[in-house]
Amino acid sequence: MFNWLFKRFSKDIGIDLGTANTLLYVPEKGIVVDEPTVVAINIRTEQILSVGGEAKLMLGKTPPHIEVTRPLTNGIISDYEVAEKMVKYFIDKIHEDGFSFVTRPRVVICVPLEVTEVETKAVEDAIMAAGAREVFVVQEPMAAAIGARMPVQEPIGNMIVDIGGGNTEVAVISLNGVVTWKSTTVAGDEMNRNIIQYAREVFNLLIGEAHAERIKIRVGSAAETGEGIEFPMRGRDIISGLPREITVTDAHIREALDRSIRTIVDLIKMTLEVTPPELTGDIHERGMLLTGGGSLLRGLDEVISKATKIPVRIADDPLSAVVRGTGVLLEDTALLNEVVIPSTRNSKKR
């Protein structure tokens, strides 16, 4: 009887719990939550003040008793309690129009490839504690490939490069499984740190992470665009301690990001080196797909294509590919059973 009630009144949910952004997908409704993975907490009362976009606006602007935290580091939960409360907040938000006492959804959630059994269990426990009835854990590149409608079930080499906030993952997928893969923590957040370091070393200017991210989005590029874009960089002068503003160009930011871009290109090459020849032939013919927010960096697809001699395309909506993949899996039980990671909770019971 209770299972029937849960199924009747609960909405199944797909979750992309990312280092930078959290997205939730509900069948028949699509993406219902797209918020930064940031939580503001009053450390005196342990009360959550805000979650998502509102909390992100507080970064670097809070008094001592308010802490703005990001509960995920490199795609892994680093603050279990905050992550659980954040997910519960989002699940409750989805069910606001329903009967709260029976909201026990099935949840499909993604984890990075380089995740341990302990870290997977932490994800499962956090989602169950947040109110889920069942949890299915799937690898992020697999979900991204499914969300981008790649033929993952066929005996064909599908290469996907997922550049998120906390990590970059390169995977070759065939027959519903990841054949070879490589991962690095050089991704969107590291690019922001590159810009902060460049501003300090070249311009003697201290800038915040949020401002560095804005600069990356507005003028960042991996290859020359010929546009000559400029943007104001504002911060605190290291020498005088006073506020100062300078104008940076796309050439400045390209120089700042060069090391990270080369790391990502090298990671792709290393993955290709260990890929079986038959699959390499498929990839050379079909090309590779870029997903994640980092894939939106201007000219990155051109740089990768030139370095690997392989066609590169960017997913139609790279930011939501992973969560759209979880949505497909919620509606295709057979495919979900093929790609789901064995539950650590079930193994404990056995």
Q: Can you give the CATH number for the domain in which 6 is found? A: 3.30.420.40
209 exposure class (CB count in 10 Å sphere: 0-12, 13-18, 19+): middle
Same domain for 8 and 126 = yes
The answer on 162 and 308 residing in a single domain is yes
Least confident of 35-44, 219-228, 313-322: 219-228
User: 68 Cβ partners below 8 Å, 6+ apart?
Assistant: 38, 39, 40, 41, 55, 56, 58, 59, 60, 62
Q: Encoding tokens for residue 124? A: 């499962």
Residue 347 has pLDDT above 80, yes or no: no
8 shares a domain with 136: yes
Q: Examine the domain organization and report whether 203 and 332 are in the same domain.
A: no
The pLDDT, as a whole number, for residue 346 is 58
The answer to the question of residue 82 being in a domain is: yes
- Residue 250 maps to a domain: yes
Is there a single domain that holds both residue 201 and residue 276? no
Residues 6+ apart with CB under 8 A from 176: 152, 153, 335, 338, 339
176 and 281 in a single domain? The answer is yes
What span, in angstroms and rounded, lies between the C-alpha atoms of 192 and 210?
8
The pLDDT value recorded for residue 341 is 94
Percent of the chain with pLDDT over 90: 84
For residue 52, is it within any domain? no
What is the residue-averaged pLDDT of the chain?
Answer: 91
Task: Say if 263 falls within a structural domain.
Answer: no
Please tell me the distance from the alpha carbon of residue 249 to that of residue 337, in angstroms, as a whole number.
49
- Residue 148 maps to a domain: no
CATH number of the domain within which 205 lies: 3.90.640.10
One domain, residues 31 and 175: no
- For the segment 102-107, the average pLDDT, to the nearest whole number, is 79
C-beta separation of 316 from 150 below 8 A: no
Distance CA 336, CA 293 (A): 25
Largest CA distance in the chain: 70
User: Which is more confidently placed, 101 or 103?
Assistant: 103
Torsion angles phi and psi, residue 171, rounded to 5: -140, 145
Confidence class for position 11, pLDDT limits 50, 70, 90: confident
Instruction: For residues 161 and 296, state if they share a domain.
Output: yes
pLDDT tens, position by position, 114-148: 999 999 999 999 999 998 999 999 999 999 999 99
Contacts of 135 (CB under 8 A, 6+ apart): 107, 109, 123, 124, 127, 128, 343, 345
Separation between Cα atoms, residue 25 and residue 337, nearest integer Å: 19
Q: Residue 152 domain-assigned?
A: no
> How far is it, in rounded angstroms, from Cα 235 to Cα 325?
40
d(CA 60, CA 306): 39
In this model, does residue 155 exceed pLDDT 60? Answer: yes
Based on the fold, state whether residues 215 and 251 are members of the same structural domain: yes
Answer whether residue 54 is part of any domain.
Answer: no
Residue 296 lies in a domain: yes
Q: 309 with 326, same domain? A: no
Look at residue 265 and tell me whether its pLDDT is greater than 60.
yes
Token readout for 132 is 């889920």
220 and 309 housed in the same domain: no
> Which of 51-60, 226-235, 313-322 reaches the highest mean pLDDT?
313-322
User: What pairs with residue 23 in β-bridges?
Assistant: 16, 34
Record the tokens describing residue 224, joined without a space: 């020359």
Tell me the residue range of the domain where 326 lies.
2-36+77-143+321-344
Number of domains in the chain: 3
Same domain, 309 and 327: no
What is the spatial distance between Cα 323 and Cα 317, in angstroms, rounded to a whole number?
11
pLDDT of residue 4: 43
pLDDT band, residue 100 (cuts 50/70/90)? very low
